[in-house]
Amino acid sequence: DAKTTQPPSMDCAEGRAANLPCNHSTISGNEYVYWYRQIHSQGPQYIIHGLKNNETNEMASLIITEDRKSSTLILPHATLRDTAVYYCIVRPGGSNYKLTFGKGTLLTVNP
């Protein structure tokens, strides 16, 4: 499975956009990029996923570079409740079930 690299921590001001980068330079053609987050003492929560195209849902936007070697998760208006560890995960296509978590980025949203 392709490995991902994320900064260990980031800060963001409340109300501003939070842009969380992820490097996955060894990603292969059938691998998806997933983002989950984990608020302290809770289970991980699915945010968004994509293959090639940019994706948007009610929680966030996912921007994948054209070469697919990196991506950015965008929380458009961060709130204090968005403080969490954000995991970028590359998941193989087909029936490979594995969701392998890396170390993630601790995003702290400040008032």
Q: Site for another protein (CB under 8 A): which residue of 27, 71, 82, 87?
A: 87
What is the 3-state secondary structure of the chain? CCCCECCCEEEEECCCCEEEEEECCCCCCCCEEEEEEECCCCCCEEEEEECCCCEECCCCEEEECCCCCEEEEEECCCCHHHCEEEEEEEECCCCCCCCCCCCCEEEEEEC
Stretch that binds another protein, among 17-25, 26-34, 61-69, 74-82 (CB under 8 A): 26-34
Q: Site for another protein (CB under 8 A): which residue of 14, 72, 102, 108?
A: 102
Does 65 contact another protein by CB under 8 A?
A: no
How many residues make contact with another protein (CB under 8 A)?
Answer: 26
Q: Site for another protein (CB under 8 A): which residue of 5, 28, 54, 100?
A: 100
> What residues make contact with another protein under the rule CB under 8 A?
30-32, 34, 41-46, 49, 87, 91-104
